[in-house]
Amino acid sequence: MMGNPINKQAMPSSIQKNPRLGQWLGINSDGKIAIYSGKVELGQGIRASLIKIACVQLGINPSQLLFTAGDTSNCPDELYTAGSQSIEVGGLSLAFACNEFRRLFTQMAAKYLCVEDAKIAVKDGKFYGDNPVRSVSYSDLSDQVSYSDHQLDQFWSGQAFNLINHCPDSDSYRRDDILKKISSGAYVHDLELPKMLHARILRGRHYLAIPKHVQEENIRALKGVEIFFRSGNFIAILGKNEAHLVEAYEKAVDLIEWVITDALPRECESKNLLPKLPYISSLPIAVGTKSEVALNHTAQYSRPYLAHAAIGPACALAKPSCDDDPLTVWSHTQGSHFLGRQIAKALDLSEDKVRIIHHPGPGCYGHNSADDVSFDAALLAHKLNLPIRVQWMRQDEMCVSPLGSPGLVKLQAGFSKDGEIASWMAEVWSPTHISRPGWGEGVNLLGAWSIDPPFSKPPTSDPALPAGGGLRNIRPYYDIPSLEVRHHFISDSPLRTSALRSLGAHVNIFAIESFIEELAEIAKVDSIEFRLRHLNDVRAIDCIQSVARIANWAERKMGLQEKQEARGLGVGFARYKNSSAYCAVVIEVQIENEIRVSHVWIAADAGAIIHRDALLNQIEGGVVQALSWSLKEQICWDEGGITSKSWDEYPILNFDEVPELTVELIEGSTDISLGSGELACGPVAAALANAVSHALGIRARHLPLTPDRLAALINESA
C-alpha cells in the first residue's frame, strides 16, 4: 500500500464500485490503448473531455486511443450519467486509473531502459530515459506488466487528485461527434439490423391509460401492419415498411378506446393543485434560534409539469439472444447497467443474458423515454425472436414519458433591526424527482407495468439532502442566522414524474432569488449589493461581481420606459447543490406584447476547466433550455389525459428567440472540477422574473411567463 491511509469517503464512488484497473484500460492487439467509461455522450461533450483526461494522464494522443462508453459487456458500472457528476466522479476516476496505468508501465520502462523511475518521460505513448533515441512503448511492454487485476482502491491517496494539470485545449481534443451528427448516420435512429422489423407502440394520452376496447381485426387489416402484438395492455404493430407503419399508427390509435381508472384533477396550475394533493410532511432543516424581527415578508412561487420535449423522439433497437450471444439492446439511456438489470428482471432472464450498448440519441436532460423505448424493443425482440427497431411518436414523448416534477415554494423571511435577513422559512410541495430504472424497488419501466403479468408501479421516494430531489438548493446560500425548511412530499402524482435537468433546483432557486430581490426592494438596497451583504464565500462574491461587471450593472436604471417598449435587467445567483459550481446570471428583457430576452450574461466558476468548449456548450445549452421552460413550457391535461401532445400545444423556444449570450468562465479558483451541466437553470429563471419586475414594476411568481400570464399580472396591478 502506498501513501496515506485509504480514505474511502474521498475515493470516487466509481473507483469503489470498479476497483480493478482492467475495468478501465487495456491494450488492444493493434497496440492502441482501450479506454472504458460508464459516463456516456448525451450531447454534453463528455466524450471529448474524458478523452482529453486519458490522453494527458497517459502521455498519448487521441489517435492512439480507442474510447468505449456505456457498453455493459466491457465498461465499468458508473451508475447514471447524471447529476453533473461526469467530470467530478467519472473524470476523476478515469484520471486516477490512467495515472496508475502509466505508473505501472513507467516502472517497467525504467527497468527496460536501465534508468530510475523519476528519469522516465513519456510522449505519444513512448517512454524515454537518458537516451532520447531509445524508447519503449506501452504496446512493447504490455506482456510484461500485470495491470488487469491491479486494485486501484488500494492505491488511492485519500487526497484530491489533479485531473488535467491545466493542459490547454487544442485541435486534438475537439468534439469528434458533432460532424457525424450533422452530416451522417450518427444516431441510434440510423442503425439497421439484418431482417429487422419496425414497431410502433399503441398507447393512450396518459401513462396509466388502459385499452378498454380494441378493434384488433381492423388494426391487423391496416396497410403496413404485418404483426399485431399484444401482452396484457401492451399493444404494438410491426412491419417492414416504416412509412406504411406510421400511416397505420395514425389510424390504429383511433381504433382503441382508452380509459383512465383514476380521474385526473381538473386543476393544472401548480399553485392551486399541489396543496390539494395528499402529501407527507417533514422538517429536514431547522437550524439557528428564532428571534424577534422588525418586518416579515411572505410569497409563493411555482412551476408546472414540464416535458423533456426533445426534438427527436426516442428510439431503440434490439436483437434476440442467439447461441452464446445475449439479448442485445442499442439505447440512448443514461444508465446502461441499470437498464440491463431492469430488462433482465422484467423478462425473467439472468443479468448476463442482456447486453446494453449505448448509442447517441435525442438530447437527454434526465430520465426521459430512452429506457422505456429500450424495454419496448427488448420485449418484442425476445417474444418474437426477431430483430426489432422501435421509435416512439410525438404523442408518446409528451403523454407517457416521465415529466419534470412541478413545484410550489412558499417563503417567509424576517428582517433584523439593522436591515439584514434574520430568519428564513421555506415550504416545498412536490412529487418525486427521480424514478429511474434501478432507483428504489421494483421495475421502473413503463412497458413492464402493462404486460401480462404486469409488474407493479414501484412506490415513489425522493433523494434526501444534501443533494436532494424536490429540496435541491432549497437552502439559500446566504448567511442567515435562523433557517427552517418543511417538505410536503406528494407520493402519488396524477402524472408520471422523474428526473429533469436540475431537479427541484430550478423552481427552488427561482423562488429564493426572486424572494431575495423582493427583500432588497423592501430594504431599498441595490439587489446585487443586498446579496453581497449576506455572503462570506469569496468565490460566490467573485462570481456575482464578475457578472455585474460584464453586464454593466452599474448603469441599470429603475423603471426605464422607452416608447411602448419596457426594458429591464435582472440578476440571479446560485451554487448548484450548494456544493458544486457557482453561477451568476444577468438578463436583459424588452417587453411589448410579450417578453423578449435580448441578452444573457453569465459568470460561472466550475473549478478546474477540463474542456473549455464542452463547458461552454453545457452552460449555454442550460441557459437556452431554462429560458424555454420559464417563458413557454407547461403540460396541461383534461379528463382523457395530457392535451399538450404536440408542438402546437407545447411550444418551446424557437431558434429566432435565442438571445445573445456572453459567458465569462472564472478560472484558477481550484484544481477540482465542479459539475456544470445544471448550474444555470435556477439563476436564469430568477434573473428573468427579476428583469420583468424591473421593466414593468410587477412581480411574476408563477412559471411560465407567457403573454397571457403577463397580461393578467398587468391587469391585476392596474
- R_g of the chain, CA atoms, integer Å: 27
Average pLDDT of 487-491? 98
> What is the number of domains present in the chain?
3
Q: Do the domain assignments include residue 270?
A: no
Residues 376 and 418 occupy one common structural domain: no
Strands (E), 458-509: 482-490, 497-498
Q: Do the domain assignments include residue 449?
A: no
Residues 383 and 421 occupy one common structural domain: no
Residues 582 and 618 occupy one common structural domain: yes
Q: Is the pLDDT of residue 165 over 70?
A: no
Residues 224 and 89 occupy one common structural domain: no
Closest-CA residue to 255 (of 209, 208, 204, 207): 204
The arrangement of strands across the sheet holding 421-431 comes to: 280-287, 482-490, 421-431, 407-415, 295-303
Q: Do the domain assignments include residue 35?
A: yes
Range with lowest mean pLDDT among 114-118, 283-287, 307-311, 672-676: 672-676
**pLDDT tier at 5, thresholds 50, 70, 90:** very low
What is the Cα–Cα distance from 428 to 407, expressed in whole angstroms?
7
Residues 324 and 361 occupy one common structural domain: yes
**pLDDT tier at 440, thresholds 50, 70, 90:** confident
pLDDT for the residue 10:
76
Identify which has the larger pLDDT, 290 or 451: 451
Q: Do the domain assignments include residue 301?
A: no
Instruction: Report the DSSP beta bridge partners of residue 297.
Output: 413
Give the tens place of pLDDT for each residue, 93-137: 999 999 999 999 999 999 999 999 999 999 999 999 999 999 999
Residues 374 and 521 occupy one common structural domain: no
pLDDT for the residue 289:
84
What is the Cα–Cα distance from 429 to 277, expressed in whole angstroms?
9
pLDDT for the residue 2:
37
Is the pTM higher than 0.85? The answer reads: yes
Average pLDDT of 20-35? 97
Instruction: Report the DSSP beta bridge partners of residue 230.
Output: 235
How many Cα neighbours within 13 Å face the side chain of 342?
A: 29
Amino acid at 23: Q
- For all residues of the chain together, what is the average pLDDT? 93
The three-state (H, E, C) secondary structure of 375-389, written as one string: HHHHHHHHHHCCCEE
Q: Is the pLDDT of residue 563 over 50?
A: no
Q: Are 503 and 436 in contact (CB under 8 A)?
A: no
Report which DSSP code applies to 424: E
pLDDT for the residue 559:
43
Give the tens place of pLDDT for each residue, 250-267: 999 999 999 998 899 999
How many beta carbons lie within 10 A of that of residue 427, not counting itself?
18
Boundary residue ending a domain (181, 213, 232): 181
Report which DSSP code applies to 211: E
What is the Cα–Cα distance from 40 to 299, expressed in whole angstroms?
41
What is the Cα–Cα distance from 318 to 324, expressed in whole angstroms?
16
Task: Give the 3-state secondary structure of residue 17.
Answer: helix
Average pLDDT of 684-704? 97
pLDDT for the residue 166:
53
pLDDT for the residue 606:
94
Closest-CA residue to 83 (of 354, 364, 282): 364
Q: Which three cell numbers stand for residue 708?
A: 397571457
- Cα 317–Cα 339–Cα 76 angle in degrees, nearest 5: 105
Give the tens place of pLDDT for each residue, 346-397: 999 999 999 999 999 987 789 999 999 999 999 999 999 999 999 999 999 9
The parent domain of residue 219 ranges over 188-261+314-391
Among 445-449, 560-564, 608-612, the range of highest mean pLDDT: 445-449
Amino acid at 453: P
Residues 116 and 194 occupy one common structural domain: no
Interior/surface letters 586-624, b for 16+ CB within 10 angstroms, e for the rest: bbbbbbeeebebeebbbbbbbbbbbbeebbbbbbbbbbb
Average pLDDT of 503-519? 98
Say if strands 403-404 and 497-498 run parallel, antiparallel, or are unpaired. parallel
Report which DSSP code applies to 606: -
pLDDT for the residue 557:
59
**pLDDT tier at 232, thresholds 50, 70, 90:** very high
Q: Do the domain assignments include residue 36?
A: yes
Average pLDDT of 25-33? 96
What is the Cα–Cα distance from 492 to 607, expressed in whole angstroms?
39
pLDDT for the residue 7:
52
Residues 367 and 420 occupy one common structural domain: no
Contacts of 214 (CB under 8 A, 6+ apart): 230, 235, 255, 256, 257
Q: Do the domain assignments include residue 256?
A: yes
Q: Is the pLDDT of residue 6 over 60?
A: no
pLDDT for the residue 172:
79
Residues 121 and 24 occupy one common structural domain: yes
Boundary residue ending a domain (181, 201, 221): 181
**DSSP one-letter string for 293-317:** -SEEEEEEEEE--B----SSPPEEE
pLDDT for the residue 585:
98
Average pLDDT of 397-415? 97
Residues 62 and 206 occupy one common structural domain: no
Q: Are 77 and 46 in contact (CB under 8 A)?
A: no
Q: Is the pLDDT of residue 247 over 60?
A: yes
Q: Is 658 exposed, middle or buried (0-12, 13-18, 19+ CB in 10 A)?
A: middle
Give the tens place of pLDDT for each residue, 166-219: 556 667 788 888 888 888 889 999 999 999 999 999 999 999 999 999 999 999
What region does 574 belong to: left with phi over 0, alpha with psi -120 to 50, or beta?
A: beta
Q: Are 56 and 167 in contact (CB under 8 A)?
A: yes
CATH number (domain holding residue 498): 3.30.365.10
Share of the chain above pLDDT 70, in %: 95
Q: Do the domain assignments include residue 306?
A: no
Helix, strand, coil content of the chain in percent (nearest 5): 35, 25, 45
What is the Cα–Cα distance from 35 to 70, expressed in whole angstroms?
12
Q: Which three cell numbers stand for residue 112?
A: 527496460
- Considering Cα of 97, then 102, then 107, then 112, what sign does the dihedral take? positive
pLDDT for the residue 1:
32
Average pLDDT of 477-481? 97
> From the centroid of its chain, how far is CA 378?
25
Boundary residue ending a domain (147, 181, 215): 181
Share of the chain above pLDDT 90, in %: 85
Q: Do the domain assignments include residue 1?
A: no
Residues 352 and 498 occupy one common structural domain: no
Residues 170 and 204 occupy one common structural domain: no
